[in-house]
């Protein structure tokens, strides 16, 4: 089923993990994909992997913390595909520290890698999304909804992303541009690192998953992203879709 045939997507953070799963699901659904990530080698390997599936995929190595370079992502997508239908903002880095021990610099890591690039890419892509009646998919976290210790700066960035996503959904709905948010739980390298670093917190979170398994980046999160980007979700905007096996039920 090529639900996204003819569509062109930008996926940030797509060299690995959840966003790689989204990029893979997009390619399998027929979309062309520009992957943006600061991990040059990993990104090139992902590009090769997805091209081997028959995908029209381009990788752009970029540190999203370089704000001045962000409009270049939109230029690159237009140069490669001539259109932009879908923007997925999934890249995010953060430092896990107690709020009282979080420095300004720690806090800025979350904003510079997550909030700022999401906002600037949304703003820059907007006129092109109006042309295609396209959509944006942003990412938040259950860590913010459950107020997990050491996740302060990360949660602040993610909830700010969710807030601006909802406002943009209100503002851009009349132009036919949809903006939604996914709150995932999946077996990415980032979660694997957290599991090693905080095994008790990880065990607690896994214990809350009603479906008793951790999600798959492509089959679970990617599939949900394909749905949100597809015609089937044409009447859905401003929503947070929990794709976490029932880990968090209220937000
Ligand atoms: N995996 C989960 O269970 C989970 C849970 C809640 C939220 N999320 C969210 O889903 C998204 C993906 O998470 P993940 O677990 O796959 O993360 P991950 O850490 O495994 O991968 C993140 C990717 O983003 C890239 N990235 C980070 N900072 C960047 C920068 N400044 N410039 C360019 N690329 C950068 C990394 O290189 C990496 O490829 C994130 O927004 C995360 O907050 C994931």
**pLDDT of 167-197, one tens digit each?**
999 999 999 999 999 999 999 999 999 899 8
Instruction: Write out the two tokens for 18.
Output: 């959840």
The residues facing 34 across adjacent strands are 10, 58
Residue 31 and residue 135: Cα distance in Å, rounded? 13
Q: What is the pLDDT of residues 111-153, one digit of tens each?
A: 999 999 999 999 999 999 999 999 999 999 999 999 999 999 9
Secondary structure class of 104 (helix, strand, coil) = helix
Q: What is the pLDDT of residues 63-107, one digit of tens each?
A: 999 999 999 999 999 999 999 999 999 999 999 999 999 999 999
Please identify which of the residues 126, 154, 202, 235 carries the catalytic annotation: 154
Q: With a 6 A CB cut-off, is 63 part of the ligand 1 pocket? A: yes
Phi, psi of 123 (to 5 degrees): -65, -40
Q: What is the distance in A from the centroid of ligand 1 to the CA of 106?
A: 16
Secondary structure class of 47 (helix, strand, coil) = helix
Note if 154 is an active site residue: yes
Question: Is the pLDDT assigned to residue 1 strictly greater than 90?
Answer: no
Q: With a 6 A CB cut-off, is 39 part of the ligand 1 pocket? A: yes
Residue 22 and residue 29: Cα distance in Å, rounded? 10
Upper half-sphere CA count for residue 64 (Cβ side, 13 Å):
29
Probe target for ligand 1 pocket from 190, 193, 241, with the most ligand atoms within 8 Å of CB:
190
Domains of the chain: 8-243 (3.40.50.720)
Question: Is the pLDDT assigned to residue 251 strictly greater than 70?
Answer: no
């Amino acid at each position: 089923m090529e639900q996204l045939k003819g569509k062109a997507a930008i996926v940030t953070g797509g060299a690995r993990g959840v966003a790689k799963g989204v990029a893979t699901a997009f390619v399998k659904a027929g979309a062309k994909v520009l992957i943006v990530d600061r991990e040059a080698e990993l990104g090139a390997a992902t590009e090769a992997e997805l091209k081997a599936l028959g995908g029209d995929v381009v990788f752009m190595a970029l540190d999203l913390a370089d704000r001045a370079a962000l409009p270049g992502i939109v230029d690159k997508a237009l140069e490669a595909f001539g259109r932009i239908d879908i923007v997925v903002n999934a890249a995010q880095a953060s430092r896990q520290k107690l709020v009282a021990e979080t420095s300004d610099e720690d806090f800025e890591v979350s904003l510079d890698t997550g909030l700022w690039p999401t906002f600037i890419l949304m703003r820059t892509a907007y006129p092109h999304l109006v042309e295609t009646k396209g959509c944006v998919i942003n990412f938040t976290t259950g860590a913010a909804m459950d107020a997990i210790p050491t996740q302060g700066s990360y949660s602040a960035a993610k909830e700010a992303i969710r807030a601006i996503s909802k406002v943009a959904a209100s503002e851009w709905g009349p132009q036919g541009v949809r903006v939604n948010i996914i709150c995932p739980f999946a077996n990415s390298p980032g979660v694997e690192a957290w599991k090693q670093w905080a095994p008790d917190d990880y065990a607690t979170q896994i214990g809350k998953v009603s479906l008793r398994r951790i999600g798959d980046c492509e089959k679970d999160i990617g599939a949900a992203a394909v749905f949100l980007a597809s015609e089937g979700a044409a009447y859905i905007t401003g929503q947070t879709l929990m794709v976490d096996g029932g880990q968090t039920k209220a937000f």
